[in-house]
């Protein structure tokens, strides 16, 4: 016989367990899958990321990083607050990541600017051999021959910089490389040409 206060009605006794637990399961039934949650919130998260970042490309990377952070916390059981706290967490992560991306971009730009500045004093035409008017035609032929010997990734930068009178930023855009890479290739190619010029001068 059931204790007083814990008696079950006939209806309750005849009700299946999964129905009696309906109230407990109702909350979990409202949880979205990861894909459903992304479909519902992706556009507003991306819009916020674009407002916080300096370029559309950065915004996409920042959003991706923020979502990865959330997924890792959920997978490890470290996330506190449940699914209803996901959106706030991702917004906060985007904001922090945007600041980090901005700082990295500033440091990268500074390095590229310094590299470009150093190249102004490293032009191949500062070599005294170029000062000889009598050597103009011979120099031209020699330079063209040496340029053909260089790997194209170096020669194309040198041609754009010296004969095309392009800045490193313009070269970077043309070749779809970073400004720092353009400057580095120019510097290395110029060093190779200088060595060839010195070897030629030593023959006289």
Contact 79, 89 (CB under 8 A): yes
The torsion defined by the Cα of 74, 79, 85 and 88, in degrees rounded to 10, comes to -100
d(CA 185, CA 158): 8
pLDDT confidence of residue 150: 87
- Contact of 49 with 60, CB cutoff 8 Å: yes
The pLDDT, as a whole number, for residue 89 is: 92
Q: Which pLDDT value is given to residue 2?
A: 46
Q: What is the pTM of this model?
A: 0.44
Q: How confident is the model at residue 11 (pLDDT cuts 50, 70, 90)?
A: very low
Q: Mind listing the pLDDT tens digit for each residue in 30-56?
A: 688 989 999 999 999 999 999 888 888
Higher-confidence residue of 174 and 9: namely: 174
Q: How far apart are CA 112 and CA 107, in angstroms?
A: 9
> In this structure, what is the dihedral angle of CA atoms 21, 27, 30, 33, given to the nearest 10 degrees?
-90
The tens digit of pLDDT for each residue in 64-106 reads 999 999 999 999 999 988 898 999 999 999 999 998 888 887 7
The pLDDT value recorded for residue 106 is 73
What does the pLDDT look like over 125-178, one tens digit per residue?
Answer: 444 444 444 456 677 777 778 888 888 888 888 888 887 788 888 888 888 888
SS3 label, residue 65: helix
Confidence (pLDDT) at 117? 56
Instruction: Band the pLDDT of 122: cuts 50, 70, 90.
Output: very low
């Amino acid at each position: 016989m059931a204790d007083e206060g814990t008696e079950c009605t006939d209806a309750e006794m005849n009700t299946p367990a999964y129905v009696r637990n309906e109230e407990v399961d109702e909350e979990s039934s409202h949880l979205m899958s990861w894909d459903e949650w992304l479909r519902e919130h992706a556009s507003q998260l991306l819009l916020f990321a674009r407002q916080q970042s300096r370029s559309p490309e950065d915004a996409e990377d920042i959003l991706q990083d923020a979502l990865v952070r959330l997924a890792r916390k959920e997978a490890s059981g470290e996330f506190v607050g449940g699914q209803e706290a996901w959106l706030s967490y991702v917004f906060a992560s985007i904001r922090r990541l945007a600041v980090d991306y901005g700082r990295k971009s500033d440091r990268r730009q500074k390095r590229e600017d310094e590299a470009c500045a150093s190249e102004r004093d490293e032009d191949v035409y500062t070599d005294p051999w170029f000062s000889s008017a009598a050597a103009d035609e011979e120099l031209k032929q020699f330079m063209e021959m040496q340029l053909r010997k260089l790997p194209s990734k170096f020669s194309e930068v040198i041609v754009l910089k010296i004969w095309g009178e392009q800045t490193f930023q313009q070269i970077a855009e043309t070749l779809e490389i970073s400004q720092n890479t353009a400057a580095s290739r120019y510097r290395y190619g110029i060093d190779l040409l200088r060595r060839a010029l010195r070897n030629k001068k030593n023959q006289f």
